[in-house]
């Protein structure tokens, strides 16, 4: 039997300050292939290249990856600011519409970091452009050296940094078999006001929303603020999430 196919959204990237490309981190692709046991296929995060109906005719589920660009503030009624650039409006156009279609059709969708934020905005929620600026919040961005440069060791960058408390009896707590987990943290933007169908299932020690599900979704529709794609081959938390995503993909493939 052929494996399910997962569409993995791309990010706009300027290579060598010259060439416009669409890029996906390899760890996302490996997480889909090696843990969810599915075939990853990248699609462009741009509506002038990717047709939603066309891509959903080809895939059994969608992975909304993280990305450097923030969701544009105009998507939730806030004026943009140069301090919080870059933005990727073409990905916004595609991803926000894609979230709603996937949820409506019961197509499994898993949002990671920016992907969680997109899920929230798609259902009318808002974001804060720099979550660490809120009173009482920690710095959720990747670790840096004293001189301000990004830490050179990727294992330090993606190391677990804080705890997340899960809602008792919720989808995440049930899947993971526990109510407290530790996760990595590499984001500036974060959920401010949850969308109308966004159910908060996990919160960091400082109150930052870290895990969500979409209420009344007929299929898998979960989002996490941390980078679950980094180490699901070894990390039991992230492995469980990607395996659950994989199980949902198989069910969807058989239905189709």
φ, ψ dihedrals at 115, nearest 5°: -60, -40
227 is catalytic: yes
CA distance 224 to 244: 14
| Catalytic position from the list 72, 140, 187, 227 | 227
CA distance 14 to 20: 5
CA angle, 130 as apex, 166 and 154 as ends, to 5°? 70
Q: At what angle do helices 114-122 and 89-105 cross, to 10 degrees?
A: 70
| Catalytic position from the list 118, 130, 201, 229 | 229
User: Residue 152 half-sphere exposure, CB side, CA atoms within 13 Å?
Assistant: 2
Compute how many other C-beta atoms are within 10 angstroms of the C-beta atom of residue 25: 17
Residue with tokens 């060439």: 19
Q: Across-strand partners of 204?
A: 164
Q: Calculate the alpha carbon distances from 8 to 70, 82, 98, 161 in Å.
A: 18, 28, 12, 26
Q: Which parts of the chain fold into alpha helices (H)?
A: 26-30, 52-58, 89-105, 114-122, 154-157, 171-176, 236-255
Tokens of 18: 């010259």
113 is catalytic: yes
| Catalytic position from the list 113, 118, 130, 210 | 113
φ, ψ dihedrals at 119, nearest 5°: -60, -40
79 is catalytic: no
Residues with a catalytic annotation lie at: 113, 227, 229
């Amino acid at each position: 039997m052929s494996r399910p196919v997962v569409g993995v959204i791309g990010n706009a990237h300027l290579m060598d300050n010259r060439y416009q490309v669409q890029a996906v981190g390899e760890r996302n692709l490996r997480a889909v292939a090696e843990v969810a046991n599915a075939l990853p296929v990248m699609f462009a995060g741009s509506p002038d290249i990717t047709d939603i109906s066309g891509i959903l005719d080809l895939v059994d589920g969608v992975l909304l990856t993280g990305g450097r660009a923030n969701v544009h503030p105009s998507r939730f009624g806030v004026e943009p600011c140069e301090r919080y650039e870059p933005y990727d409006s073409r990905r916004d156009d595609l991803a926000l519409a894609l979230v709603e279609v996937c949820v409506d059709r019961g197509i499994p969708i898993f949002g990671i970091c920016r992907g969680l934020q997109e899920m929230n905005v798609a259902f009318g929620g808002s974001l804060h452009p720099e979550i660490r600026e809120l009173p009482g919040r920690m710095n959720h961005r990747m670790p840096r050296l004293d001189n301000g440069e990004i830490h050179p060791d990727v294992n330090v960058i993606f190391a677990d940094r804080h705890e997340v408390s899960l809602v008792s009896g919720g989808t995440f707590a049930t899947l993971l078999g526990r109510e407290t987990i530790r996760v990595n943290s590499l984001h500036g933007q974060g959920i401010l006001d949850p969308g109308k169908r966004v159910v908060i299932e996990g919160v960091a020690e400082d109150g930052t929303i870290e895990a969500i599900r979409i209420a009344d979704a007929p299929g898998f529709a979960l989002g996490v603020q941390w980078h679950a794609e980094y180490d699901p081959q070894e990390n039991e938390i992230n492995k469980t999430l990607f395996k659950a995503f994989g199980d949902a993909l198989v069910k969807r493939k058989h239905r189709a």
